[in-house]
Amino acid sequence: MMINHLVKSFENFKELSSQWNTFRDKGTKIMSTLVNKHLKVSYIDLYDFSDSIKENTSLQFKFKQSQFNDLITCYEKLNSTILELKAIIERINENLSSLSVCKKPKSYQEKIELKLYEYYEDIIKMYNCSLENKQQIINNIMTTDDRDQLLILITCWSNDIHINYKTIDLVEEIFKTENSNCSLYK
């Protein structure tokens, strides 16, 4: 029975969604750190520091170099996080591609299965869009020094603006209801 496979796949999705949230939150922390370091490097005024740094170009260079290295390390951590999110999306997409439904349903049960599949497909599209958005954020984060824009980028990352969690909760309820009604279709 296809509904059972859909429900099982959706349950797997929920687990992967939980992993997504973990790495999204990790990425948010890294993004905040990255933005703070980026702003620090962008707006640093060496003349606010001690005379030893002001008068020593070698120390100035070393100081800026260490700040820049911190920035690179943070950026690499963020890239690592996006790779984890990509791996989760790949598994979510594999879940979907392992399913097959009748595209021209003849029975009520087949219509329900097709509708559930379409709901599931729409949810996965949300996650794919969110991943693309996060990749764009990573690509753009270092191109601006505007604090407001950087704050917007952090907010967009952390809030998964492409993912409608209310819709997902509603679809989950539909899955549960249809799974419990599954015996009625026999």
Classify 87 in phi/psi space as left (phi over 0), alpha (psi -120 to 50) or beta: alpha
List the domain boundaries for the chain: 2-29+85-185
DSSP assignment letter at 161: T
Structure tokens at 91: 């598994």
CA distances (Å), origin 63, targets 54, 58, 71, 77, 140: 11, 9, 13, 21, 25
**Is pLDDT of 183 > 70?**
no
Query: For residue 38, what pLDDT band results from cuts at 50, 70 and 90?
Result: confident
Model confidence pLDDT, tens digit, residues 62-76: 888 888 899 999 999
Question: Quick check: 20 and 163 in contact, CB under 8 A?
Answer: no
Phi, psi of 98 (to 5 degrees): -80, -10
**pLDDT mean over 142-155:** 89
Model confidence pLDDT, tens digit, residues 49-58: 677 777 777 8
> Which of 9, 4, 10, 6 lies closest to 186, judged by CA?
4
